[in-house]
A = this chain, B = another copy of it.
Amino acid sequence: MASQSKEDYIKVLYKLEQENKVVSTNDIASFLKMKASSVSDMLKKLAMEEYIDYTKYKGAKLTKKGVSKALSIIRKHRLWETFLVNHLKFKWDQVHDIAEQLEHIDSDQLIDKLDHFLNYPKSDPHGDPIPGKNGEIINLGHTPLNELNLMDNGSIAAIKKGTPSFLQYMDKLGIELGTKIKVIDKIEFDKSLEIKIHNKSIHLSQEVAQNILIKI
C-alpha cells in the first residue's frame, strides 16, 4: 500500500483538483506545510506509481487510480469521523485530527464493518458526503450561503471549512446541520448578509457565508 505520507499527498491532490483543474507544486507545498522541493520529489514518485499524471513544471493531476485511492481515504476519514461523533460523543470540532490518523489504517474488512455498524451513513458530521465502497460520491447539490437570494429559505447542509475554530464559531452562532435559515438582508457593499436563524437575526461576513452550504 501507499505510505501514510503518500496517502496524504493524494488526498491533497484530490482536494485541490476540486478547485483548479491541475495542481501546482506550490499549492501542495503550502497546503501540506512542506517545502516545494519535497513536493517535487514526491510528485515524481507518485507519477512513477501511476497515482498522478505529471509533467515537469506543468503540475499534476490524479489518474483514475489516484482518484480512486483518494476517495477510499476520504471514505475512511469520514466514516471514522462519524463514529467518533455519533458513538464516542466527540464534538464535531474535535474529530478531524484523530480521523487524520485513523484514515490510514489498512483493512478493507474493517471499513466494511464500520460502515455497517454506522448504518451506512451518507454524510459525515460536517455534512460532507461519504464516498461509497466503489468510490461513488453523491453530489448533494448544496449552495454556498452567500449565493442565496434575498428572502430565500433553506437549511444548513454542510460546513465547508472544517477547522476547529470555524466550527466553534458555528456552535456559538447556534448553527448546526439541519438548522433552518432565511436570508433577510444582503449587504452589497461587503457582500455580507443577515440571516434569520432560531428566530434571531445574525450577521455573517461573506468569508463565513461561503463556507456554509445550504439545502434550499
Least Cβ distance of A143 to chain B in Å? 35
A36 within 8 A of B: no
A192 within 8 A of B: no
Q: Hey, which chain B residues are within 8 Å of A106, CB to CB?
A: 101
- When the two chains form their complex, are residues A109 and B87 in contact, meaning their CB atoms are under 8 A apart? no
With A and B bound together, what is the CA distance between A107 and B99 in angstroms? Answer: 11
Least Cβ distance of A100 to chain B in Å? 10
A191 within 8 A of B: no
Decide if the interface of chain A is mainly helix, strand, loop or mixed: helix
Q: Would you give the 0/1 interface string for A99-112, flagging 1 where the beta carbon is closer than 8 Å to chain B?
A: 00110011101100
Which residues of A60-116 are within 8 A (CB) of B?
84, 87-90, 94, 97-98, 101-102, 105-107, 109-110, 113-114, 116
A117 within 8 A of B: yes
With A and B bound together, what is the CA distance between A89 and B98 in angstroms? Answer: 23
- When the two chains form their complex, are residues A113 and B101 in contact, meaning their CB atoms are under 8 A apart? no
Q: This chain: how many copies in the complex?
A: 2
Q: Hey, which chain B residues are within 8 Å of A107, CB to CB?
A: 97-98, 101
With A and B bound together, what is the CA distance between A159 and B94 in angstroms? Answer: 37
Number of interface residues, chain A, beta carbon within 8 A: 19
What residue in chain B is nearest A107 (Cβ atoms)?
B98
With A and B bound together, what is the CA distance between A106 and B117 in angstroms? Answer: 23
- When the two chains form their complex, are residues A101 and B94 in contact, meaning their CB atoms are under 8 A apart? no
- When the two chains form their complex, are residues A94 and B109 in contact, meaning their CB atoms are under 8 A apart? yes
With A and B bound together, what is the CA distance between A27 and B128 in angstroms? Answer: 49
What residue in chain B is nearest A94 (Cβ atoms)?
B109
- A88's partner among B84, B94, B117 (CB-CB below 8 A) is B117
Q: A88-B110, A90-B113, A102-B105 are in contact. List 19 more A-B contacts (CB 8 A).
A: A84-B110, A87-B117, A88-B113, A88-B114, A88-B116, A88-B117, A89-B113, A89-B117, A90-B109, A94-B109, A97-B107, A98-B105, A98-B107, A98-B110, A101-B105, A101-B106, A101-B107, A102-B102, A105-B105
